[in-house]
Amino acid sequence: MAIKLLVTCKRVEDPESKISVKPDGTGIVTEGVNYKMNPFDEIAVEEAIRLKERHGGEVVVVTIGTEKAVNELRAALAMGADRGVHVSHAGPLDPVVVSAILAKVAEQEKPDLVLLGKQSIDDDQNQAGQYLAARLGVGQATFVSKEASLESEAEQKKVPGVVLSEDGRTVTVVREIDGGVETLGLRLPAVVTVDLRLNKPRFASLPNIMKAKKKEVREVPAASLGVDLTPRVLVKGYAEPPKRKGGVTLPDVAALYEKLHVEAKVL
Amino acid sequence: MTNVLVVAEHVEGRIRKSTLNVLAAGQEVARRVGGQVRVAVLGRGAALAAHELAAYGEGVLLADAPGLEHYLAEAYAPVVARLAKEAGAAWVAGAATAFGKDLLPRVAALLDAACATDVLAFGGEGAAVTFRRPMWAGNVVAEVELATATRCFTVRPTEFPAAEKRAGGAVTPVEATVDVAALRTRFLSFREVKSERPELTEARVVVAGGRGTKGDFKVIEQLADALGGAVGASRAAVDSGWAPNDWQVGQTGKIVAPELYVAAGISGAMQHVAGMKSAKVIVAINKDPEAPIFQVADYGLVADLFQAIPALARMAQGGK
Ligand SMILES: Cc1cc2nc3c(=O)[nH]c(=O)nc-3n(C[C@H](O)[C@H](O)[C@H](O)COP(=O)(O)OP(=O)(O)OC[C@H]3O[C@@H](n4cnc5c(N)ncnc54)[C@H](O)[C@@H]3O)c2cc1C
Ligand SMILES: Nc1ncnc2c1ncn2[C@@H]1O[C@H](COP(=O)(O)O)[C@@H](O)[C@H]1O
């Protein structure tokens, strides 16, 4: 029961990089900042590859951005995705535009399941998947995770957390929500956004990095898709939040207790 | 068309606290745009929650229909979108909880609206109201405007006061139909994570452990219990399977703002700090004097947590 998967990968600032705002507040300082695939998207790519390894099928990865974003497609192809779609676009993007573009790509590719990260770690929007599901008129499951820990045997064996039914028509997923863990069934096609605990993404081997260079990447200009590319989320300015000041270092537990009890009055 | 629709969240017939924070945020937006607040309560048997909310002085719209037993974005979003239109709402608000984060962007898509998530504060007046929201794990605060006729947003509950009770509220039941057979999503089960401790996001005290606990959370839990607090954890501790998922504090976990936050064996990565920097008092206990957590802590102690935490628990219990 093969499954066709469409997975998004966005190019973002490396979460290890130091982020600071330009003095004029028009954006962030990009000098010295490294870029990589959104960490949540790496998890989505890993999950898609596991599903394909188990059931057969195809993993198509898509990115929207400048030529540089092709690096992230190559990274996904090196992990094991089959081919890439680069929607070329240079201007600002927001979830309204991103989801409209992805809906067009989904119409062309007709995947059984679209996998996205739950959020981009640059804009921290947490919206694209929900918008996309509404646009496609399909079910959505956000923040998908799994109950077994990342140290479990199932994880060692790379068992997918997203479970495809025998007849290949539905998936069962586990979501991390407030107060507990929810299990949903989704009729395919469907949209799933992934959370951190779904899996540990694999590293690409050197031979696979070489092979990835030969895999197909189709370029599609965003302007050719017939969607309104005008951003609707307009950023007026960027600022750094008020910083917390480091306080005092105390010599021992008794001094700490004293401070909490007498000065801060929280104990 | 300048009203504000606030989407309520309830559990077992009771309003979640965060709904009162969104209500206060919605009231602020209503003042800024010169509109009125309406509250949407959806769910099978949600009348109790609707009446509880009416005590806060706003008009409550109650949609109770088959198909709304369990929350599903696919079933709820069209109902909320319809209520927004009927209420003349140009603004639709929810809390940045798992429920609100899942629902509001889908509602926005149905209303041709743009959406601002995890809002910390508002600026401006009328149609030019702006939203302040975090980006890059809270390293940046952006001021955004939504260039659509209808606008959706989710607010971070810890940044807003709770709405206050007032007279004048009333519950209006509204027709709602869900085509259950057409739904492509099915609720299968919910496993509640029960705890005797206060809820992490509402606790007065949070004691959190990280990789430095080496998997032994006992001392962390003992201090939390001595202080009547909740237990938190870093991602490293959760990923290792030492702490349940819903203990995670940070950019991708819970956002907390307790009176006292104790971070033990946590290095203070920016993704962790993003979830606790609004705490009133932060205590860091770490073996490494260079750990970045000390840069955000009010009180730091360079010590082995296995010695320091039990000692602090004893003192707090009066056994000094
Ligand atoms: C996209 C993304 C999202 C993320 N989201 C989150 C999030 O929501 N929350 C989160 O927490 N992290 C998050 N992270 C991970 C984050 O970057 C850090 O890796 C993580 O917070 C580290 O956890 P830690 O401080 O427990 O471990 P470490 O960084 O390994 O620190 C352990 C600390 O314990 C100290 N220690 C060791 N032994 C002792 C002892 N006996 N007594 C006292 N101190 C001791 C050490 O000195 C060290 O400082 C995210 C990362 C990414 C990329
Ligand atoms: N420019 C983009 N290219 C590819 N995928 C994207 C892009 N923007 C957002 N996404 C996907 O949508 C998810 C959620 O993003 P967001 O709603 O922006 O937080 C991300 O994890 C990506 O998988």
Residue A40: CB atoms within 10 A of its CB come to 26
Confidence band of B319 (pLDDT split at 50, 70, 90):
low
Contact B272, B250 (CB under 8 A): yes
> Do the Cβ atoms of B308 and A235 come within 8 Å?
no
Within 8 A by CB and 6+ apart from B120, the residues are B132, B133, B134, B141, B155, B156, B159
pLDDT tens per residue across span B78-95: 999 999 999 999 999 999
pTM score, whole prediction? 0.97
- Chain A nearest CA to B41, separation (Å): 18
Distance CA B81, CA B215 (A): 46
What is the distance between the alpha carbons of residues B2 and A74, in angstroms, rounded to a whole number? 47
Q: What is the pLDDT of residues B154-171, one digit of tens each?
A: 999 999 999 999 999 999
Structure tokens at B127: 């149609």
In chain A, which residue's Cα lies nearest the Cα of B309?
Answer: A253
Q: State pLDDT tens for residues B103-151.
A: 999 999 999 999 999 999 999 999 899 999 999 999 999 999 999 999 9
Q: Could you read off the pLDDT of A130-160 as tens digits, one per residue?
A: 999 999 999 999 999 998 889 999 999 999 9
Please give the pLDDT value at position B320.
46
State the CB neighbour count (10 A cutoff) for residue B163. Answer: 23
Residue A196 pLDDT exceeds 50: yes
Interface check for A177 against chain B (CB to CB < 8 A): the answer is: yes
Interface test with A, best of B120, B136, B235, B286 (most A CBs within 10 A): B136
- In this predicted structure, what is the pLDDT of residue B194? 85
Q: Using the predicted structure, report yes or no on whether residue A246 has a pLDDT greater than 90.
A: no
For B118, which residue in chain A has the nearest alpha carbon?
A: A125
As a whole number, mean pLDDT of residues B242-260 equals 94
CB A77 within 8 A of CB A215: yes
Task: For a ligand 1 pocket test, name from A38, A40, A196 the mutation site with the most ligand atoms within 8 angstroms of its C-beta.
Answer: A196
Q: What is the pLDDT of residues A23-53, one digit of tens each?
A: 999 999 999 999 999 999 999 999 999 999 9
Residue from A239, A245, A26, A22 nearest B139 by CA: A239
- The overall average pLDDT reported for chain B is 96
φ/ψ (deg, to 5) at A132: -60, -45
Q: Is the pLDDT of residue B10 over 70?
A: yes
B201 Cβ contact partners less than 8 Å away, ≥ 6 residues apart: B18, B157, B158, B254, B255, B256
Single out the residue of A154, A217, A127 nearest to residue B152, CA to CA: A127
What is the CB-side half-sphere exposure of residue A227 using CA atoms within 13 A? 21
B175, two tokens: 């027709």
Nearest CA to ligand 2 atom 21: A117
Share of chain B above pLDDT 70, in %: 99
Question: DSSP readout, B100-111?
Answer: HHHHHHHHHHHT
Q: Which residues of B touch A190 (CB under 8 A)?
A: 184-185
Mean pLDDT score of chain A: 97
Cα of B116 vs centre of ligand 2, distance in Å, is 15
CB of B251 within 6 A of ligand 1: the answer is yes
**Chain B residues near residue A119 by CB distance under 8 angstroms:** 252
d(CA B141, CA A239): 5
| Residue A149 to residues A46, B140, B246, Cα–Cα distance (Å) | 16, 32, 13
Choose among B108, B136, B183: nearest Cβ to A13: B136
B139 contact residues in A (CB cutoff 8 A): 19-20, 240-241
A contact residues 126-145, partner B, Cβ 8 Å cutoff: 126-127, 130-131, 133-135, 138-143, 145
* For range A13-27, the mean pLDDT: 96
- Rounded Cα gap, residues B251 and A119, in angstroms: 11
Interchain pair A131, B106: CB under 8 A: yes
Tell me what pLDDT residue B12 has.
87
What residue ranges in chain B does DSSP mark as E strands? Answer: 3-7, 10-11, 14-15, 37-42, 59-63, 89-95, 114-119, 121-123, 130-135, 140-146, 151-155, 170-174, 185-192, 205-209, 230-233, 260-264, 281-286, 299-302
The size of the A-B interface in CB pairs under 8 A is 252
Q: Which ligand is nearest to the CA of B249?
A: 1
Alpha helices, DSSP H only, in A80-125? 95-109
Task: Summarize pLDDT for B184-194 with one digit per residue, the tens.
Answer: 999 999 999 88
User: Which atom of ligand 2 lies nearest, measured to the CA of A126?
Assistant: 19
pLDDT higher than threshold 50 for residue A254:
yes
Q: Which of A108, A109, A84, A146 is nearest to A3 (CA)?
A: A109
Q: Measured from the CB, is residue A116 less than 6 Å from ligand 2?
A: yes
Q: Which residue has a Cα nearest atom 49 of ligand 1? A: B267
Q: Which atom of ligand 1 is nearest to the CA of B268?
A: 25
Shortest-distance atom of ligand 2 to CA A117: 21
Per-residue tokens: B294: 């000390």
**Looking at the partner chain, which of B138, B245, B299 has a beta carbon nearest the beta carbon of A250?**
B299
A64 ligand 2 Cβ < 6 A: yes
ipTM entry: 0.97
In this prediction, residue A156 carries a pLDDT of 95
Side-chain half-sphere CA neighbours of B65 within 13 A: 17
Count of residues making up chain B: 320
Distance CA B129, CA B46 (A): 32
CB of B117 shorter than 6 A to ligand 1: no
Return all residues near B231 (Cβ < 8 A) that are at least 6 apart.
B197, B200, B206, B207, B208, B209, B217, B220, B221, B224, B243, B247
Q: Would you put residue A56 in left (φ > 0), alpha (ψ -120 to 50) or beta?
A: left
Centre of ligand 1 from the C-alpha of residue B200, in Å: 18
Which residues have a Cβ under 8 Å from the Cβ of B107 and sit 6 or more positions away?
B7, B77, B80, B81, B84, B92, B113, B152
Residue nearest to atom 43 of ligand 1 (CA): B286
Of B206-210, B240-244, B278-282, B304-308, minimum mean pLDDT range: B240-244
For the beta carbon of residue A163, count every other beta carbon within 10 angstroms. Answer: 16
The span from the CA of A198 to the CA of A208, in Å, is: 23
Which residue on chain A is closest to B290 by alpha carbon? A249
Residues above pLDDT 90, as percent of chain A: 94
**3-state SS string over A202-253?**
CCCCHHHHHHHCCCCEEEEEHHHHCCCCCCCEEEEEEECCCCCCCCEEECCH
